[in-house]
Amino acid sequence: MKLKEKVDFLINKLEEIYPTLEIPLNNKDPYTLLIAVLMSAQSTDKKVNQITPILFKNADNPYDMIKMTVDEIRNIIKPVGLSPTKSKGIWNLSKILIEKYDGNVPEDINMLEELPSVGHKTASVVVSQAFGQPAFPVDTHIHRLMYRWGLSSGKNVQKTELDAKRIFPKSKWNELHLRIIFYGREFCPARGWDIDNDTITKTIGRKSIINKLIK
């Protein structure tokens, strides 16, 4: 199957499986999305969605957030993991948003990446989901699937992102990255992978991987 055929099949199949999309992290504005995405590092969306209502009840904007201490933030977000680093990042970026951006989250991805604890993936999610700018955030699911589908070398997430942006239409990036994540969680996980239920990989995946799995 040629690359264009793979891409067309993939897009059509994912749109068929997931015709409507919801942003997995609960939020009400760019600031609460930014904080939720930051908290999701090495955690799960489910756990973050359990903790953010508690945090946002106390502070759902940068002005209220810096009224709390780093330790107070840490005690609330401890269940999501990495709370010492995340709590400092949340407090410090909130202070910077007030000082530099009048309390607003900047729409520019480069400005976002300059904020404490905000990496490229987090910034990409925010510009994509909060501001509708084309971006292709790559998480572990996308990185794994792009390799299994023979669409990237699997060398690193940076290479995977470049490959995704090269082969997928820009107009599809924002929704497609979410659909791939949902598909990876449901049908193509890292562990307990049942190839018989994974239609996309069986159709377009690397033969070397499929042959090992199909009995």
| Axis crossing angle, helix 45-58 with helix 30-39, rounded to the nearest 10 | 130
Q: Quickly count: other Cβ atoms within 10 Å of residue 168's Cβ.
A: 18
Our answer to whether residue 121 is catalytic in this structure is yes
Task: From residue 76, give the alpha-carbon distance in Å to each of 43, 49, 65, 155.
Answer: 15, 13, 12, 36
Q: DSSP letters of 80-139?
A: GS-HHHHHHHHHHHHHHHHHHHTTPPPS-HHHHHTSTT--HHHHHHHHHHTT--------
| Active-site residue flag, 194 | no
Catalytic member of 45, 78, 139, 159:
139
Token duo for residue 170 = 């820009």
Give every CB contact of residue 133 below 8 A, 6+ residues apart in sequence: 107, 109, 127
Specify whether the backbone of 42 is left (phi greater than 0), alpha (psi in -120 to 50) or beta.
left
| Active-site residue, selected from the candidate residues 6, 60, 86, 121 | 121
Q: Annotated active-site positions, please?
A: 121, 139
